[in-house]
C-alpha cells in the first residue's frame, strides 16, 4: 500500500503530546492523519489533517471515527476496546490490537498474563474491592508495606500508592485493585521493543529512570542506563519475551525493576510511544515515534542504536501554580550545549502536570547528567 502523499488515512485515538510527537513524523512522510480527542485544546489539533472532538471511552464515537480511516492506532490506553474489537471484526487494522490493549488496560489482568507466560514480576494479590484489602491484612494474608495499584485508569503516578498503615487506605478509590509486594530495587529500567506485522523485532538500548520522590513521576530518563552489560542483556531479553507473548504490532515500552541481586522484574508495559523513549528524537538514529509508524505500517524497522548519550528531563507544572502557563528561563537552558526543549502545547498548568520535556545530548553521559540537573534547577513551569 502507498502511505505517502496518498489518500491513505491513519487514525490516532488520543490527541495528547505523544500523538503530537508522532505527527512530527507523519508530516515528515506526508501521511494523512485523523485524530480523535475530547478536548478542543488537544496538542495534536494543530498538526493533524482532520481533528474530531469526541469521547475516547464512548463506543459509538470510537466506532464511527474508526470507519473514517484505513488503519487505527492510539497514544493512550483509556479508549473503548469493544469498539476496536468490532472494527477489527469488520476488517479494519488496529495496531496494537484490541486483544493486547484489553490485557494491558487492566493491571490485574496484565499481571496474570505475566504469570501465565513465566515473565518475572513482583508477587501480587488481586482484589475486587478496596475493603477486601483491610480484611486480608487483619486475617494475616497481607503485610505492610505494599504497593496499591488501581486496576484501571491509572497514569503518571495516579492510581499507585505505597501503603504503610490502615490510614493510607482511607482516601483510595474503592474499586478493583492489586496489592503488590514491595521490591527493594536499586534501579528502575525500561526497554522499548518495536515489532512490525512481518514479525521483525528491534529493541532500543536500556534506559534508567530516576523518579521524583513525592510525585511518583519520572524526573530523568538516562540512556544508556549506567548498568552492567549482562544486566542490560537480561532486560532486553525479557522485553523481547513479553513482545513475543503479546505478539503485538507497534511499540511496547516495558518498565522493569533491577533488584539488589540483579534480578529483572517487570513492573508494567505500555503499548505505545512512551516517556522513557522521548530522548530518541535527538539521541537515536530512529525516534520511537517514527519507529511506531514504521511498525504499524509494516515498513522496515529503523536502526535503534543511539548516536549519542541522551537524558530526558520532564517539564512538569510547579507546585503552587495553576492557570495559564509560563515557561520561565527557557532562554537560559537553550544557552546550554546539547539542550533541546519540547513544549507540548497545553495552555493550562497545574502541579505535576506534564507540560513538556527537555533532551540533553552529550558524548559523556555523566556530563549530560550534570547539565540535566542544571536544566531541572533552572527552568520553571509556572502561571500568570
pLDDT at 216: 67
Contact 34, 7 (CB under 8 A): no
Class of 123-181 per CATH? alpha beta
The runs of H, that is alpha helices, within the chain are 17-29, 59-66, 81-89, 98-105, 107-116, 131-138, 229-246, 280-283, 288-296, 330-334, 365-378
* Mean pLDDT computed over every residue of the chain: 95
pLDDT at 278: 98
Parse the chain into domains and list their residue ranges: 9-94, 123-181, 185-383
To the question of whether residue 183 is assigned a binding role by annotation, the answer is yes
Q: Which three cell numbers stand for residue 130?
A: 478496596
Q: Of 143, 209, 144, 131, nearest to 175 (Cα)?
A: 131
User: Is pLDDT at 206 greater than 80 in this prediction?
Assistant: yes
Mean pLDDT to the nearest integer, 284-300: 98
CA gap 3, 177 in Å, rounded:
42
What would you report as the CA-atom Rg of the chain, rounded to the nearest whole angstrom? 21
pLDDT tens-digit readout, 315-363: 999 999 999 999 999 999 999 999 999 999 999 999 999 999 999 999 9
Q: How far is CA 197 from the centre of its chain?
A: 21
pLDDT at 2: 93
User: Is pLDDT at 158 greater than 90 in this prediction?
Assistant: no
pLDDT tens-digit readout, 105-144: 999 999 999 999 999 999 999 999 999 999 999 999 999 9
Mean pLDDT to the nearest integer, 148-170: 87
Mean pLDDT to the nearest integer, 43-59: 97
User: Is pLDDT at 215 greater than 80 in this prediction?
Assistant: no
pLDDT at 211: 82
To the question of whether residue 200 is assigned a binding role by annotation, the answer is no
Mean pLDDT to the nearest integer, 1-28: 97
φ, ψ at 93 (rounded to 5°): -80, 125
φ, ψ at 24 (rounded to 5°): -55, -40
To the question of whether residue 180 is assigned a binding role by annotation, the answer is yes
User: Is pLDDT at 148 greater than 80 in this prediction?
Assistant: yes
To the question of whether residue 376 is assigned a binding role by annotation, the answer is no
To the question of whether residue 161 is assigned a binding role by annotation, the answer is no
CA gap 288, 231 in Å, rounded:
23
Q: Of 245, 249, 228, nearest to 186 (Cα)?
A: 228
The runs of H, that is alpha helices, within 251-364 are 280-283, 288-296, 330-334
To the question of whether residue 107 is assigned a binding role by annotation, the answer is yes
User: Is pLDDT at 311 greater than 80 in this prediction?
Assistant: yes
Q: Of 67, 120, 74, nearest to 90 (Cα)?
A: 67
Class of 9-94 per CATH? alpha beta
To the question of whether residue 181 is assigned a binding role by annotation, the answer is yes
Q: How confident is the model at residue 81 (pLDDT cuts 50, 70, 90)?
A: very high
Mean pLDDT to the nearest integer, 193-218: 89
CA gap 124, 133 in Å, rounded:
12
pLDDT tens-digit readout, 84-108: 999 999 999 999 999 999 999 999 9
Q: Which residue has the cell 543511539?
A: 306
Q: Residue 242 has what DSSP assignment?
A: H
Q: Which three cell numbers stand for residue 381?
A: 513551569
CATH code, 185-383: 3.30.470.20
Mean pLDDT to the nearest integer, 235-262: 97
User: Is pLDDT at 296 greater than 80 in this prediction?
Assistant: yes
User: Is pLDDT at 295 greater than 90 in this prediction?
Assistant: yes
User: Is pLDDT at 155 greater than 80 in this prediction?
Assistant: no
Amino acid at each position: 500500500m502507498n502511505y505517502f502523499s496518498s489518500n491513505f488515512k491513519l487514525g490516532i485515538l488520543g490527541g495528547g503530546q505523544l500523538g503530537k510527537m508522532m505527527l512530527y513524523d507523519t508530516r515528515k512522510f506526508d501521511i494523512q492523519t485523523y485524530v480523535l480527542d475530547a478536548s478542543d485544546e488537544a496538542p495534536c489539533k494543530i498538526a493533524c489533517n482532520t481533528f474530531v472532538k469526541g469521547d475516547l471511552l464512548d463506543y459509538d464515537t470510537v466506532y464511527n471515527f474508526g470507519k473514517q480511516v484505513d488503519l487505527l492506532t492510539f497514544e493512550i490506553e483509556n479508549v473503548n476496546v469493544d469498539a476496536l474489537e468490532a472494527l477489527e471484526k469488520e476488517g479494519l487494522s488496529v495496531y496494537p490490537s484490541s486483544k493486547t490493549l484489553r490485557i494491558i488496560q487492566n493491571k490485574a489482568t496484565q499481571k496474570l498474563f505475566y504469570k501465565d507466560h513465566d515473565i518475572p514480576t513482583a508477587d501480587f494479590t488481586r482484589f475486587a474491592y478496596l475493603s477486601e484489602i483491610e480484611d486480608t491484612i487483619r486475617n494475616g494474608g497481607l503485610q505492610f508495606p505494599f504497593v496499591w495499584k488501581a486496576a484501571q485508569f491509572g497514569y503518571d503516578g495516579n492510581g499507585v500508592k505505597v501503603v504503610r498503615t490502615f490510614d493510607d487506605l482511607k482516601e483510595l478509590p474503592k474499586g478493583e485493585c492489586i496489592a503488590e509486594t514491595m521490591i527493594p530495587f536499586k534501579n528502575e529500567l525500561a526497554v522499548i521493543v518495536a515489532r512490525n506485522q512481518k514479525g521483525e523485532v528491534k529493541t532500543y538500548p536500556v534506559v534508567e529512570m530516576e523518579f521524583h520522590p513525592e510525585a511518583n513521576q519520572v524526573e530523568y530518563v538516562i540512556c544508556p542506563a549506567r548498568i552492567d552489560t549482562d544486566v542490560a542483556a537480561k532486560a532486553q531479553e525479557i522485553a523481547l519475551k513479553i513482545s513475543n507473548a503479546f505478539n503485538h504490532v507497534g511499540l511496547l515500552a516495558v518498565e522493569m525493576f533491577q533488584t539488589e541481586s540483579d534480578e529483572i522484574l517487570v513492573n508494567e508495559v505500555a503499548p505505545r510511544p512512551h516517556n522513557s523513549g522521548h530522548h530518541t528524537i535527538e539521541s537515536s538514529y530512529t525516534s520511537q515515534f517514527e519507529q511506531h509508524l514504521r511498525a504499524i505500517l509494516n515498513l522496515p524497522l529503523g536502526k535503534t542504536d543511539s548516536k549519542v548519550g541522551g537524558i530526558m528531563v520532564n517539564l512538569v507544572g510547579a507546585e503552587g501554580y495553576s492557570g495559564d502557563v509560563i515557561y520561565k528561563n527557557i532562554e537560559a537552558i537553550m544557552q546550554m550545549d546539547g539542550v533541546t526543549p519540547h513544549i507540548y502545547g497545553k495552555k493550562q498548568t497545574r502541579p505535576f502536570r506534564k507540560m513538556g520535556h527537555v533532551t540533553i545530548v552529550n558524548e559523556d553521559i555523566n556530563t549530560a547528567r550534570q547539565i540535566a540537573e542544571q536544566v531541572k534547577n533552572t527552568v520553571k513551569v509556572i502561571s500568570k
